[in-house]
Chains A and B, each alone.
Chain A
Amino acid sequence: MLEHVINGLVLGGTYALVAMGLTMQYGIARIMNLSFGDMIIAACFATHVLFTALGISPIAALLIIVPASYAINLGIYQVMMKPLVSRAADEGALEVDSILLTFGVLFVIQGILLIMFGGGYNSYSFLNTPVKMLGTVVAGNRLLALVLSLAIGAVLVFILYRTRWGMILRAVSLSPQSAPLFGIDTDRTARTAFAIGGAMAATGGVVVSMFQTFTATAGVVFTMKALIVVILGGKGSIPGAIAAGLLLGLVETFVAAYVDPGLTLAAVYSVFLLLLLVRPNGLFGKV
């Protein structure tokens, strides 16, 4: 039982992490990024290669992959998203355009990964040592994943709620029309938020790859789950993303353990539907 709670929190922690990233991109930059999960998978493979070919530990790999991902996402925004933002008549138009564009990006990333690594299952063994904790046994890599998710989530929450920079990010998310009155450059803020979101996807990828097998085509599942977490938590809400992420991880783990592993996705959607019926704007959504 306790084992499932811990495993559920580990999984949920990574969901919360990647959902925070998607929330940064969707809530602040207003880009609906369908290639989000594929960026996670790309980071999984990058960690895999760095670890197995070069012997760089996934922890050290974070220091390479996360900044690289930030830079790549800045580039993607500048080259591909910026023209859409400039021409978009309103928020709805930007949403449709960005969905179409990132749908294409999804296939490009997936195609590159398929050519390089094929379609099989991949995993590597890192810190796969049992750790005794609270009367049960957990794999060391899972524990590390949980600690990393919590730590990075806490840093993000601190930045958003305790620094001027975070206030600026939230202001652009909550009220893009009034942000310029405060002297806030919404374009630059959107670009930064998009890049941070991408960096968080990469962080999630590194963390997930430590304890889960992954395939080149699994990106879309991550995108869907991150999307569910974001909508469930309330669009743009960071506390909501954390709560919904943990909830989803627990539901998945418990259904897999006590009901049937084949029903996890069905269970996730049921929770999603039920909660949205009760709270159409998500757990922490604005009314």
Chain B
Amino acid sequence: MLELNDITVFYGKHLAVDTVNITLAKGEIVVVLGANGAGKSTMLKAVAGMVPIATGTVAIDGQIFNGIPAHQIPDKGIAFVPEGRGVVGQMTVEENLRLGATPARARAFEDETLEQVFDIFPRLKERQNQFVQTMSGGEQRMVEVGRAMMAKPEFLLLDEPSLGLAPIIVGDMFKALDRVRETGVGLLIVEQNVKISLRHADRGYLLEAGRITGSGSSQELINDAAVRQAFLGGDK
């Protein structure tokens, strides 16, 4: 179980995340919904060790690990796919994936996990020798998710996996994320694309101006009047 306990994060002097509590179990997809600037990205970055947590704790199965440098986070079992810059564009697909198995916990499973990634994203197997920067946005997203899987994480943090992708590709991406979940990984997804993310998630949280203002199962959130109003465009 990944637990964010009362975490507060500042972005510069601005309070970006205000005493947020979130839990995520293995094999579960949890989505955090919120508008631009609600603090979603900052929250994920804080868990990934890329921005400091001011107060509160982050723990896996009760073991607190916040405060350690970002490069040690993957070895704790947490892989982060940020919005862009998650891979090395001037290296090949295979190099990026193999490099993803750098954490000690992942080394022994490298070839096995690579097969798993190729199984979920057959396109990456076809293009394994291609430089990532020459690929389409959707394919680059696949490399980023694949790279994160290579670290053998228990929990995967994804910042806007649908961003900038064509609708049909977004659907494929979420189907692929379903399959990642089937391998036992817990996924914490931050999204603006509410409809599709709630269709694939088990539960969700609403983040507004840095605070959690609601939570519930995906079905509850879909039926929630406030969610419909704010995100789903009224009665659609």
Contacts and interface: CB of A to CB of B under 8 A. Distances in A.
B80 A181 contact: yes
Contact of B71 (A164, A170, A174, A180): A180
Contacts of B89: 174-175
B95 A183 contact: no
B117 to A, nearest CB: 14
B98 interface: yes
Contacts of B73: 180, 183
Contact of A174 (B70, B90, B148): B90
B151 interface: yes
B86 interface: yes
Contacts of A181: 48, 70, 74, 79-80, 82, 86, 147-148
Interface string A154-166: 0000000000100
Contacts of A170: 88, 91
Given A182-B100, A185-B71, A167 B91 contact: yes
B71 A171 contact: no
A174 B88 contact: yes
A171 B151 CA distance: 16
B75 A183 contact: yes
A86 interface: no
Contacts of B147: 181-182
Contacts of B75: 183
A180 B85 CA distance: 11
A178 B88 contact: yes
Interface in B127-156: 147-148, 151
Interface string B156-192: 0000000000000000000000000000000000000
Interface of B: 48-50, 69-75, 79-80, 82, 85-91, 95, 98-100, 102-103, 147-148, 151
8 contacts: A167-B98, A174-B88, A174-B90, A175-B90, A178-B88, A180-B70, A181-B147, A183-B72
The 5 closest A-B pairs by CB, nearest first: A183-B74, A180-B70, A183-B103, A180-B71, A175-B88
Given A175-B90, A182-B151, 8 more contacts: A167-B98, A170-B91, A177-B85, A178-B87, A180-B71, A181-B82, A182-B102, A286-B90
